[in-house]
Amino acid sequence: MPCGVFCRARALGALLYILMYTLLGHFLGPTVLDVVAAVNLPLGALGSLVPLVLLLVWIARGSAIHLGATTEAGAADRRIAGETARLPAAWPH
């Protein structure tokens, strides 16, 4: 994805996110904002837990290959390993 498209989409997403919270607070009051904030915390935790589990599976799979648990990896396994190896570098910060 070109950097210009990515930056515009990210800016638009941030604008819509802020606009949603502002309009909810304006029209429905602080009670709704408290409910939305309570729901947002578990989603944030889930967003941290999923990459952690994927990373642990990736590490466990890599150590099994290096310990000789599998013989020769097929072409599909090598492709999957190559795609997962680039994920930490491509993960948005």
The Cα 4–Cα 6 span in angstroms is: 5
Beta strands in 1-93 (DSSP E): none
In this prediction, residue 93 carries a pLDDT of 54
Task: Say yes or no to pLDDT of 9 above 80.
Answer: yes
What are the pLDDT digits (tens) for 30-48?
787 677 777 765 666 777 7
3-state secondary structure at position 73: coil
| Predicted confidence (pLDDT) at residue 73 exceeds the cutoff of 90 | no
- Tell whether pTM > 0.75: no
pLDDT computed for residue 74 by the predictor:
67
Q: What are the structure tokens assigned to 93, written together?
A: 């910060």
